[in-house]
Structure 1
Amino acid sequence: MISPDDAVDSKDPRLVKFVAPAGKWEHTGSNYDDLVSRIVGMMTIRGEREVARDVMRMTFREIKLIQIRKNCSAGSPDGENTVINPIAVVREAVKNCTPLLLLQSVPRGGILYKVPAPPVSDSVAIHAAVKLILDAGKDKPREQRIWISLGNELIAASQNQGTAVKRKIELHKQCEENRAYANYRSH
């Protein structure tokens, strides 16, 4: 340790602190969100991440427009409670669509059984929730743009409604029906 009384040369290696460069996907921006980046990665087709980012930007724009319209509507009693921040809407939607149990295929005696099991980690559960939301957003009329249907689905899921939440409930019902096979689980 260097005391304040010691005379130290300015080229002393003890005064140098090496700084590692930031990783390829690390961000310091205020609007960066890890979950949104993960959704963009799951939306990416054939390596075209920039197209997926544009779709996500348009989805955020759509969410904001819908929420502002809802907030400004004259007779809306819950106008003050409307969340306009799209990242908060996405986080709430993923939280509401995260399943408690998943179905795993386990072979026993030449037959594949669908065995209910809790997700291995939070990451797996979040992946399943995002998959439910994206699949629900893709079920749309051909002439409707993906960002419009995805924005509507995210808003509905953030309010515990919509197709993604229904699919999560159906998944839980299937897990309840296959409860008898729970002892086949390997982990």
Structure 2
Amino acid sequence: RLDILIKMPRGPGAFPVLAILEGERRQTGVILVAGRGPVTRIPEIAPTSSPALTLNLESRLRATKPLAKRKPDRIHHIDLTGDMNGYVWSINGVAWNKDVPPLPVAEGERVEFVLRNKTLMPHPMHLHGHQFQVVEIDGKRFSGAVRDTILVTPGRRVVIAFDANNPGWWAFHCHLLYHQAAGMFATVRYI
């Protein structure tokens, strides 16, 4: 998920913004119209299939309101682990249960999560109660998009940063809810 800002051309025209599922040709979307531009029907089938999901777009996105630059006060290393054998998904090799200790943070800290996907599946990792900024992909630092969910593709390393400014207990989990239910879940707790 992300918010995008689209600058419309001044002249009249119709501009489709389309979405195509990974590996599919079916498409949907909206048509943005400027002035009295003609609107034509968009075909339901795209000329080509969409490519596999990668982090290429993510590495090009930039925040319109990035986090203030500062060093992290706390870093958590989070390995996304598990596999289809037995259908167990986990964080740092442990499927979540009530005895798994939370990831501690303190109010006012800049926190970084270093996410390493050690599985063969992509995982959209979602943090409740906060927005974070993507600050590194595979060792390359940059001021990426601000969001609450990041897709971590197989074998990749993504670093996210957030300011601990919303005290309480918060969920951090794979947004593929069947992965979450199988154990790819953690809690963030203010101390």
TM-score range, shorter chain: under 0.3
- From the two aligned structures, give the one with the greater strand fraction: 2
TM-score by length of 2: 0.22
Higher gyration radius (CA): 1
- From the two aligned structures, give the one with the greater helix fraction: 1
TM-score by length of 1: 0.22
